Structure 1
């Protein structure tokens, strides 16, 4: 190495990442990554987090909320191994993420050198692309490649399929900046390359296939009794998706069944979505009465277990799937799968449907079918409200999501965890016309890194931000509270404390009396821990609440404050049994309403 090539090479690479669209740097301290840490911190907003797993999910949260990749940097050895869960989620959710691991030079590989492991293609198929940069090289061709490779890596986080990209960068000591006379022969070439900046790479813009549009239009015209089932979709797509879905529903006469994570349950003014469909499909009579001629699924597969059971069984309706850029049909049996931009597909289909509206008889049949769904929906939510009980006593699980929705009635973002929270949001909060952006981790659907990801989202979002999570997920990502402390507020972290993984009580395992003890010990795994000590350790605000009024006050105070607040929401035991009773009441009332309307 001549002169201070490490430092200048790293500065060129960091500047090229910024030029190519990287928005933030998330850095975990380490020695081997010294040149890049110094360089990135000088050109990008940087957050330093000791835990590499937390750092990766923090960056993933930034990408989920902004659509731009953040760069995550760690030293060599086991450090980048902690990124694997975030890389998996990034791939499955289609979130851009750039992972840069520092590495040791080739001469110490396979020699039992300290902090030296095989980092080549560390994430396998979970990374969309891999680049091994080798050691900084003063050769003019090698210098010229630095900004190009940086630009290609950033592009690969978004196209052709968004996800994580891994870059491995080797450095040889000395790692720190060195004093030089700045007369090295490579400097003029490097300065010229740096002045020119990184090349701009433009991915092709996707457009709907006319044949796919024609197939969808033909299917809708042949099947007037239809539904659109909206599963999880990105919050960033919400404005375009709401516009396209509303137009398509009006043109087709189809009924929209919208999960909360679809971004379509809230914020639609001209369309009345069905939000209680998971409860409705628990009644065999309703499945028979409401069976569509055609179901159009959009987005990721629906969370609803009842929908999945229905489309997996003998009475499955005919289906067309619009999953976006990646195939998605876990139930199997879809009649067609139309890949490509969902909103553009629906807009194009709506234009054709509007050009040739259905006849009076067809329109009447579609209208009567839609009215049956609306009657069932109204009866179900009315029954739930009547059965839910007073909200001025002890806090129940089914009180939490509706209260958070009411606080965010005038805008804001809700990050929702998996397991019980995402299902409670669907089961407890009816559709309404006020917009609400929902962030979620439905890619790999794990509980990993939820607090960390929310903290990352906080850095790129304006307006109120609330996290709804469970106690097990909070404990699993306790290190994420350090990330929350690093970004400041306002942020309300609402942890529903039911002492364990109560999602298992809702499964067949939890309903088998012979396995009750096993379920409690091996799956629910009650922990008995409170969270005040965690909040104190990381310097967060803290509130323990046991009534809805106290929860409302704590969340409102957190969103009006200047630092994150951890809110431990202690709920009454027996939430799983209560949930089953509420869903049964909703289904029973809907059956009666549809029968009366015939």
Structure 2
């Protein structure tokens, strides 16, 4: 291989080459001057077919796009920014990746360290910027032509290899801060003369799997499966004969043991009062009833540690943490039958309530239609706030093995970067039979730049369903939404925006369709336009608190 013309180009090409050799198949870039060597290196790698390059105007969008790609591709994803505030804009995505255990590799260009604290343009203290949110980081000094160039190449590779290894085995983001000095383009030389060829990366051992620990199946137990719990939670419930309370993004909500209205049934003293043990898997965050359940002091709470070695324990009551579980015996059949019987009854009454509500279109109907439209092999990304909670009550019991994937940003459950994450998830799982996203209008507006995709960039086949109630109706369900605070509610929490979503989509070249009733929504979902499209489902907001109260009153 011809030696790079200068030290900055050598460093950038080495880093990108090592990232690809370590398994990355996607690289996300936001433009900048100081990061030019990394940009040129990424372009060359993409032109050679070694990596797929995605360019975005906004660093926050780029970070969440990379996060979505990492979530569904199950591989490390690099994201490149220039110096200064560009780096800081990655922080929300880094936090979500940290709490979700996703291997983001942050490649941030920087000015040489001697400019820090001098007032130099776009120069700040980038090392340490992400604090505890990253698993590891390296601050790499600029390359120096003629000064042990082969050692510098080995060091660049070693830094990147170590960080990617930490990201993939530790499940989280890492940060390589690369100080770059001029020249910054590959058409200018500075005396660099060494190639960047290297041997294959060292082989690494597979992660050890924990030995299963036994649980007495005869104890009346419920399995709570939160985000990313995976199939083991379902398998455990089925082996023991226990009911399964699984959130939509758990990866566990399939099979005959899943209880659709579980969070409502926890208000039934006959059922909730009979619980002697809770097994918690994944990261459950959707509802207060479930949080109260896993925080109870009168039941045994057992946690299944996730692949990051972490578990959920908001009430500080977990008495036993295990990496995997097996069961001895089987629970009394009546325990599961009671839960399933009540679930069937409440589910029927819930459907009747939703379909009979005095509104042309109810948010729960939107969630149900989207969930029903998800075919085997399909992908559904669901936004935070109300959409994921509505889906929790309305998603049908999917068949085991149908490979439907329902995902969400539940690490910190923010609304940041939701469109970009959904697009990244769709691009990271191109084998999906169909890709859908369900989110609210405020979430949509919060990441509108996610739709600003250049004409040469990869665009997914993705139908984004936006539940538009002109504001933040999630707050109507909380204490802030009580009649006591009615005078200030609209200004402080509901924040109506009056935005014309169709006009916004038109300005960004995205196909848009508005629907106002279930039939219109079903038609829109049945006849996708192809490519990236937005279906706006218009619903009321003024009745949201009353609707939620009526649903809770079913039990």
Both proteins in one fold, TM over 0.5: yes
Partner of 1:545: 515
Tell me, in whole angstroms, the C-alpha distance in 2 between the residues paired with 1:470 and 1:570: 10
Q: Deviations over 1:54-76 (max 9, x none)?
A: 00000000001111121111111
Deviation of 1:285 after TM superposition, in Å, equals: 4.4
CA-atom RMSD, angstroms? 2.3
Q: Which SS does the other structure have where 1:297 is aligned?
A: strand
2:361 is the alignment partner of 1:395: yes
* Structure 1 residues 250-399: aligned runs within 5 Å: 250-266=238-254, 268=255, 271-288=256-273, 291-313=274-296, 316-324=298-306, 325-338=309-322, 340=323, 345-346=324-325, 349-350=326-327, 353=328, 358=329, 366-389=332-355, 394-399=360-365
2:406 is the alignment partner of 1:438: yes
Tell me, in whole angstroms, the C-alpha distance in 1 between the residues paired with 2:398 and 2:16: 45
2:32 is the alignment partner of 1:30: yes
Partner of 1:422: 388
More displaced stretch, 562-571 vs 29-38 = 562-571
Deviation of 1:430 after TM superposition, in Å, equals: 3.7
Tell me, in whole angstroms, the C-alpha distance in 2 between the residues paired with 1:526 and 1:103: 40
Deviation of 1:52 after TM superposition, in Å, equals: 0.4
2:459 is the alignment partner of 1:457: no
2:451 is the alignment partner of 1:481: yes
Partner of 2:549: 580
Tell me, in whole angstroms, the C-alpha distance in 1 between the residues paired with 2:203 and 2:134: 20
Partner of 2:126: 119
Q: Deviations over 1:191-234 (max 9, x none)?
A: 3x51424x23515522214xxx44xx2x425x532221111116
The answer (yes or no) to whether the contact 1:249–1:255 under 8 Å persists in 2 is yes
Tell me, in whole angstroms, the C-alpha distance in 2 between the residues paired with 1:137 and 1:202: 31
Q: Which SS does the other structure have where 1:99 is aligned?
A: strand
Residue from 510, 520, 532 that aligns with 1:564: 532
Number of residue-to-residue matches in the alignment: 537
Partner of 1:595: none
2:106 is the alignment partner of 1:99: yes
The answer (yes or no) to whether the contact 2:6–2:188 under 8 Å persists in 1 is yes
Alpha carbons of 1:13 and 1:176: their partners in 2 closer, same or farther (altered >3 Å)? same
Tell me, in whole angstroms, the C-alpha distance in 1 between the residues paired with 2:389 and 2:65: 24
Alpha carbons of 1:22 and 1:506: their partners in 2 closer, same or farther (altered >3 Å)? same
Alpha carbons of 1:255 and 1:285: their partners in 2 closer, same or farther (altered >3 Å)? closer
Alpha carbons of 1:414 and 1:16: their partners in 2 closer, same or farther (altered >3 Å)? same
Tell me, in whole angstroms, the C-alpha distance in 1 between the residues paired with 2:454 and 2:438: 14
Deviation of 1:557 after TM superposition, in Å, equals: 2.8
* Structure 1 residues 174-193: aligned runs within 5 Å: 174-178=183-187, 187=193, 190-191=194-195, 193=196
Name the TM-score, length of structure 2 as normaliser.
Answer: 0.91
Deviation of 1:302 after TM superposition, in Å, equals: 4.3
Residue from 452, 455, 463 that aligns with 1:492: 463
Q: Deviations over 1:365-418 (max 9, x none)?
A: 621111111111111111112222259972111101111122113331110011
The answer (yes or no) to whether the contact 2:280–2:303 under 8 Å persists in 1 is yes
Deviation of 1:311 after TM superposition, in Å, equals: 3.8
Residue from 183, 194, 206 that aligns with 2:197: 194
More displaced stretch, 21-30 vs 431-440 = 431-440
Partner of 1:8: 10
Q: Which SS does the other structure have where 1:31 is aligned?
A: coil
Partner of 2:48: none
Q: Deviations over 1:40-60 (max 9, x none)?
A: 121121111110000000000
Partner of 1:412: 378
**4+ residue stretches of structure 1 with deviation over 3 A?**
244-247, 283-286, 310-314, 390-393, 483-487
Partner of 1:142: 152
Deviation of 1:516 after TM superposition, in Å, equals: 1.4
* Structure 1 residues 225-236: aligned runs within 5 Å: 225-233=220-228
Q: Deviations over 1:307-342 (max 9, x none)?
A: 21234356x42110113121320122111122x3xx
Q: Which SS does the other structure have where 2:513 is aligned?
A: strand
* Structure 1 residues 164-179: aligned runs within 5 Å: 164-178=173-187
Tell me, in whole angstroms, the C-alpha distance in 1 between the residues paired with 2:296 and 2:480: 21
Tell me, in whole angstroms, the C-alpha distance in 2 between the residues paired with 1:233 and 1:484: 32
* Structure 1 residues 62-73: aligned runs within 5 Å: 62-73=69-80
Deviation of 1:572 after TM superposition, in Å, equals: 3.0
The unaligned stretches of length 5 or more in structure 1 are: 588-598
Tell me, in whole angstroms, the C-alpha distance in 1 between the residues paired with 2:5 and 2:333: 77
Name the TM-score, length of structure 1 as normaliser.
Answer: 0.85
Q: Which SS does the other structure have where 2:377 is aligned?
A: coil
Residue from 110, 113, 131 that aligns with 2:117: 110
Tell me, in whole angstroms, the C-alpha distance in 1 between the residues paired with 2:134 and 2:91: 9
Alpha carbons of 1:516 and 1:282: their partners in 2 closer, same or farther (altered >3 Å)? farther
Q: Which has the higher helix share?
A: 1
Tell me, in whole angstroms, the C-alpha distance in 2 between the residues paired with 1:465 and 1:255: 30
Deviation of 1:532 after TM superposition, in Å, equals: 1.3
Tell me, in whole angstroms, the C-alpha distance in 1 between the residues paired with 2:24 and 2:460: 23
Partner of 1:530: 500
The unaligned stretches of length 5 or more in structure 2 are: 46-50
The answer (yes or no) to whether the contact 2:261–2:393 under 8 Å persists in 1 is yes
Partner of 1:501: 472
Deviation of 1:424 after TM superposition, in Å, equals: 0.3
Alpha carbons of 1:472 and 1:63: their partners in 2 closer, same or farther (altered >3 Å)? same
Tell me, in whole angstroms, the C-alpha distance in 1 between the residues paired with 2:88 and 2:537: 34
Tell me, in whole angstroms, the C-alpha distance in 2 between the residues paired with 1:367 and 1:483: 54
Q: Which SS does the other structure have where 1:157 is aligned?
A: helix
